Each structure stands twice: as C-alpha cells, then as structure tokens.
Chains A and B, each alone.
Chain A
C-alpha cells in the first residue's frame, strides 16, 4: 500500500481533486501527499471509510510556517545605455508569498498501516488563511486544530469550537510564527547578563551590585 496507489485510488474516487506527492529527502522515507483544500473533507472521509484503507486514527496535526523568501533573479531587459539600446542583465529582487502549512499524520488502527501524511497549504500568511477543518472526520483533530489556530493563525472553517487553547483568551498575535516579536515586558531579572541585561537596563535602573 504505497503512497502512489493511495493517490490513484483517491483520484479515481473523487474527481477534480488536485494531489501532489511531496517527496521527503531524509532517510525516514515518509513522503507526504499534498491535497487541495476544496476537496479535503471528501478525501479525508474516503480515507477513513474505504474498506481497504480504513485510516481511522488521525495521530498528529501540526502547523508549519513558511515565511516568504527573498529571491533574486537575473532578468534581461532592454535599456538605453549611452544612447544605444542594449540588452542588459538586471537583478530583480522579489519576495515570495509565504504560506502556512498544516500536516496530518494518519494511521490505521484496524489494518495496522503506517503513516499517511497529508499536507494543506494556505494561500498566504496574512488574510487568506482559511482551511477546512477535518474535525468532523476525526475528532482527534479538534484540540490540535485549535492549537494551530492559536499558535499560527490558520482559521479552520467548520471547526465546532475554534478558540485559543494554550494562550489566554485576550492574547494577540500568534507565537509560533517565525516573525513573532516577543512583547517588551521585561521585569528586573536579578542575575541577568548579555542581552537580557541590556533590556532590563533599558527599563529600570539596576539595583544593587551585579
């Protein structure tokens, strides 16, 4: 039961779905299947209920933050140099739109089958962060999707109770993102040194001898 056979079975059963195998270069050999958000619930239900697959146990739901990367590409542009039109190579810098990724690890308790890994990507990291929730299919995703919402900011449509789970209710921002800035609320840390000492010095005068 390899990933390719599962992929072809899903494509046969659910028309219109867009699947892509994401290879995993490490020796673990755990390749994953990227699914499109529009058909995610249908794919999940199929994986759970199909007779020969029966992936009834969703073990791990995790989020990964892929911030936008700066890419520079060399572009040939026609420019006027010294009165003569020439083709000049220009270096253009742009930033890719980053995305947030949600990874599901599925196992089958009935058939004792190994991990099938599903991935879903959001469109960007700012506004278009909605993904369908797979909690109606596997209830084990309930708390984990809440945690991804809390720590990464992915909004799961269809989740029965989407609110913060680990941070307190009034918390702003999402701590596990790569560009998260900690709030500047340093109290006096008595045995501080290095940059912690710098920050406490900015807030208060140092009491006593360090």
Chain B
C-alpha cells in the first residue's frame, strides 16, 4: 500500500542566468534565531540574491489531528491552546465555535462579551509581540520587543487571574466560558485599556518614522492583491495588500456586529505596510475593548444544557472559522455520533500564509528573507500542528 514517491531533488545547482557564478544552496536551518521557531528554508542564492526558496517544516509536527480522534471533544480543548501558543484564547474560541456550529449550541450574551474582550486582548498582545520580534530580527536588539512585553505582562496577569494560566488558558467551553470574571477583573481591565493609547503613541514614536526601518521594509516583499487572494492568504497580510476581508465584518461571528471599528487597509503590500497595519489594528482593538468593557451585561456564562462529560453531538460536519490575530483559523469537524470526532482538522492560517513566502523573497537579498518571514508572522505550533 506504499504510495510514497521518491524524494524529489527540487533545487538546481546551476542556473542559466547566473552567468559564471555558481549558485549556493543554503539551508537556513531549523535552529536559527530568526526563523520564529523550528522552521527551515532551502534557499538557492546567486551571491546575495535569492533565486529560489522552499520552506521546509514539520519539525514540530505532533499530529494533533490524530490525537483529537482519540480524545473527547472537551479533551482536545487543551491541545488547541498549544497550536498557536502565543494566542491560546483565540484558538479556544475557534474550536468552541466549530463545535457549537456542529451541535447547534447557543452562547449567552455575557460569555460572548467575555470572548470578545479576551480575543481583542490576545490580538493586542500578538501584534505587539510580532512587531517586537520583527524589529528584533532587523537588529533592534529587543528594545521594542521589551516595550511590547511590558504590556503583554499585564495582559497575561489578567488572563492568569481569569483562567488560571498565562498562556495555556483552556478557557472556552462549548456554549460559553469556563468560569466567570473574578471580582475586580473588569476594573483592572478598564484601567489597563485606558493606559493603552498612551503606550501605542510611545510605541509608534519609537519606530514608525525610523529611517533604517523604512529603508529595510519599504518595497521589500511586495504581495499583489490577486496573488494574495489566490494563495489563500488571510489576516493582516491580506489587508496590507489592499483586500478588504476581515472575518469579523464578513462572518460577523459572535457579537462583532455590535461594535464600531474600522479595518485598516494597506496600499503597497510591502513589509512596511504589514508592519503599519498591525499598529493600526492594535488601535482598533483598543476601540473594541473600550466598547465591550463598557457594555458587558450580567448573566450566565455557559449554556446550561451543554454537558461537560459525555458530550456526543449528532452525526454531521461543520466548519467554523474566526479572525485570529494571524489570519483565518478554522476547524473542520466531522462527527459520527460518538464521543470522539471522526475527523478533526485545523485550517492553520500560518501554514497558508507561508504559501507566498517563495514568491515574495525571489529577487531580494538574504537579509530581506528574514524581514519578510518576520512580517508573515508564523508560529510553528500552528504550521505543523
């Protein structure tokens, strides 16, 4: 039954338009400070210019999808934390949304508001960490990173007092959230969100008109609209290329249609646009947070009819997706009526966003590869699952 093909030699060793020079095949290997995890790129170089680039991943493959076939639906929830390990609460929400679609479960209002608040806080800390890591790869030695991490620490403290853990939250349940907000959490969150615009001003002043940053990112890695859509790219990268597609406005999942916020779009589609889009999205997140923290009602936080143990949805399938900070994170579930899913699939936004990496890097220098990869924002836990 072996249908494996032979490993294909895909990188040429000589090229017609390289002239006299020999092409260099470089493996920017899995152990590398700037590849955002265990990620490898086989790069064919002509001097400093990239001729061909093949991403190689799978080093963090834990076969989450097969584990989920042996676990119950609830038992997979802690594993979803570990997909995109920086934004665990949005992963939880995506999975809970897919199961709620599969089983037709309603979510009470207070739980929806809590979900929006935690998701926007997650988006804030993800974009902050991304800008920090991107600028660190460019040589800013961690200063913007530590500024972003200062705010991230406060957000993680908020998550810890709510869910019990800083990163692996395991908080969403099918039909709502696990526990209610503890006393004083809302005031703490409101105080923190009130201080965010000043932080964002400081963060922007630090780097936004920095000439070195602009020289290294403007015109680098231009992604055209048509190619972005065809390659299945979603999230801030797509919007930086000028396509107006944000799942919070298109699908209106949860209660996002109650909040007034704008979608920033980029014009050029280069790395600088991808960088600025994230700064602007952080500001929009603060807008949503202000509205949600003001309007959150009292009430139950979980649908009382949903079972914790012995949850067996009826046979069928569902595809649920949300706008995670990195793109469209979707879960496709096929149920056969038992307590374990028959097929559990994670539509990983980071892996799809990597489709364009080769096209973006060709013609640029090796140093730009690191910058482009940083702006695509991958987390290996989600690429490999």
Give the interface of A toward B (CB within 8 A): 24-28, 30, 56-60, 62, 64-65, 103, 105, 109, 112, 115, 117, 125-126, 129, 138-144, 153, 155, 161-176
Contacts and interface: CB of A to CB of B under 8 A. Distances in A.
B316 A109 contact: no
B319 A164 contact: no
B144 interface: no
Contacts of B347: 59-60, 62, 105
A161 B8 contact: yes
B101 A166 contact: no
Nearest to A170: B7
Given A60-B330, A64-B343, A26 B229 contact: no
Interface of B: 1-5, 7-8, 10, 57-58, 61, 63, 65-66, 101-104, 227, 229-234, 243, 245, 250, 313-321, 328, 330, 332, 334-335, 342-343, 345, 347, 351-352, 354-355, 384
Nearest to B352: A140
B314 A25 contact: yes
Contact of B316 (A24, A155, A170): A24
Nearest to B54: A161
A28 B317 contact: yes
A188 B335 CA distance: 36
A29 B343 CA distance: 18
Contact of B5 (A27, A143, A163, A174): A163
B84 to A, nearest CB: 16
A103 B317 CA distance: 11
A57 B235 CA distance: 13
B313 A26 contact: yes
Contact of A140 (B4, B57, B316, B355): B355
A171 B317 contact: no
Given A26-B318, A60-B330, A176 B4 contact: no
A162 to B, nearest CB: 7
Contacts of B5: 155, 162-163
Given A109-B229, A161-B8, A175-B66, A28 B334 contact: no
A25 to B, nearest CB: 5
A62 B316 contact: no
Contact of A27 (B101, B345, B352, B354): B101
B100 to A, nearest CB: 9
Contacts of A176: 63, 65-66
A59 B3 contact: no
Given A26-B315, A27-B103, A139-B355, 19 more contacts: A25-B314, A25-B316, A26-B102, A26-B316, A27-B101, A28-B318, A28-B319, A59-B347, A60-B347, A62-B345, A62-B347, A126-B1, A138-B230, A140-B232, A166-B61, A169-B7, A175-B63, A175-B66, A176-B66
B3 A155 contact: yes
Nearest to A62: B345
A140 B321 contact: no
Given A126-B1, A142-B355, A64 B334 contact: yes
A184 B356 CA distance: 38
A27 B7 contact: no
Contact of B104 (A26, A58, A117, A173): A26
A-B complex: 9 closest residue pairs judged by Cβ atoms: A140-B232, A26-B316, A27-B104, A28-B318, A166-B58, A169-B7, A60-B347, A28-B101, A62-B345
A26 B314 contact: yes
Nearest to A152: B3
Nearest to A173: B2
Contact of A167 (B58, B103, B319): B58
11 contacts: A26-B335, A27-B103, A30-B319, A59-B234, A64-B334, A64-B343, A65-B343, A165-B57, A166-B57, A175-B66, A176-B65
